[in-house]
Amino acid sequence: MFKTRVCSLLNIDYPIMQGGMAWVADGILAAAVSNAGGLGIIGAGHAPPEVVEKEIEKAMSLTKRSFGVNIMLLSPFADEIVNLVVEYKVKVVTTGAGSPGKYMDKLKTVARVIPVVASVALAKRMQQIGADAVVAEGLESGGHIGEISTMALVPQVADAVDIPVIAAGGIADGRGFLAALALGAEGVQMGTRFILSEECTVHPNYKQALLKAKDRDTVVTGLSTGHPTRVVKNRLAREFALKEKQGVSAEELEELGSGKLYAAAREGDVVGGSVMAGQICGLIKDIKPVGKVIKDIIEEARMISQSLNNLAG
């Protein structure tokens, strides 16, 4: 059940991908998701190539199944990460925060390439230059986001392209999974749900901050710098909002944000650090093994689809 083109394209059992979250999604988490039948993804973020290389090697030692690497296109190391995934013949590459156009031909020599898009225009452009699928990511997502909600973006992207569409943003259970399929997606990508898994090595303070967060506890900072970023409200988010209101320069704001995701995710500073998370964090009340996250979603979606079928007569 729920076998879509995404399953055959990526050689996975369930059309569920784990978001490639910078400083959060390492080789251990990626391997766990792939071993559970989904697609695990290492988040390269702004990390230097030596760090990403270690995570790729770790994932390779922990799983025989395909996994991916997310290349954050704003990273100063993006060129080197591209070379790394080609060298290691990583099977799947997702990209974020830009267009991977200049890397497409090179990446396609080894990997399935799946750009994350936040608009119909970019989705069409990605199909044209040979993307294997796209992740349509709504503004409910954590981290760097676009301007359109998942509910509005996914069906518009699904109508605009023939390649498979994977929905992201605001999905954490079987209801969200099934809703995404109803909107025309052939799979989902989840970030926040996988942060709250046993295998995620993010600092325990980060997990606790997400468990505590309710529906209105995330906020978007960085709108004035052109890098809107969804984070859990804390001292840093308030400081950011105040500086943006005061019209502080983009450079100063970038400086304020620099290194703050690392501080929260690896050092546990959830007060002065950047706790990126999606709006769905309010729904998630437990930390469970990755395998159970996936199993529960598929089982819940199966049950809902049966009751909807009865309802439809």
Contact residues toward ligand TUI (CB under 6 A) are 22, 45, 72, 96-99, 116-118, 122, 137, 143-146, 227, 229, 257, 261, 276
Q: Which is nearer to ligand TUI, 37 or 142 (by Cβ)?
A: 142
Alpha carbon of residue 59 to chain centroid: 18
In angstroms, what is the minimal distance from the CB of 70 to ligand TUI? Answer: 8
Smaller CB distance to ligand TUI: residue 20 or 174?
20
Pairing of strands 143-144, 229-232: antiparallel
Query: Mind spelling out the 3-state secondary structure of 184-237?
Result: CCCEEEECHHHHCECCCCCCHHHHHHHHHCCCCCEEEECHHHCCCEEEECCHHH
- Give DSSP secondary structure letters for 23-70: TT--HHHHHHHHHTTSBEEEE-TT--HHHHHHHHHHHHHH-SS-EEEE
What single-letter amino acid sits at 224?
S
- In the bound state with ligand TUI, the residue whose beta carbon lies nearer, of 59 and 253, is 253
The CB-of-194 to ligand TUI minimum distance in angstroms stands at 14
When the beta carbons of 114 and 298 are compared against ligand TUI, the nearer one is 114
Q: Which of 74/271 has CB closer to ligand TUI?
A: 74
Beta-bridge mates of residue 232: 218
CB of 276 to ligand TUI, least distance (A): 6
Which is nearer to ligand TUI, 146 or 174 (by Cβ)?
A: 146
Nearest distance, CB of residue 73 and ligand TUI, angstroms: 8
Using Cβ positions, the residue closest to ligand TUI within the complex turns out to be 143
Q: Which two tokens stand for residue 272?
A: 């002065």
Shortest reach from residue 244's CB to ligand TUI, in Å: 14
Instruction: Kindly list the distances between the CA atom of residue 254 and the CA atoms of 73, 95, 248, 251, 257, in Å, as whole numbers in the listed order.
Output: 16, 21, 10, 5, 5
Minimum distance from CB of 60 to ligand TUI (Å)?
24
Q: Kindly state the DSSP code that residue 117 receives in the 8-state scheme.
A: E
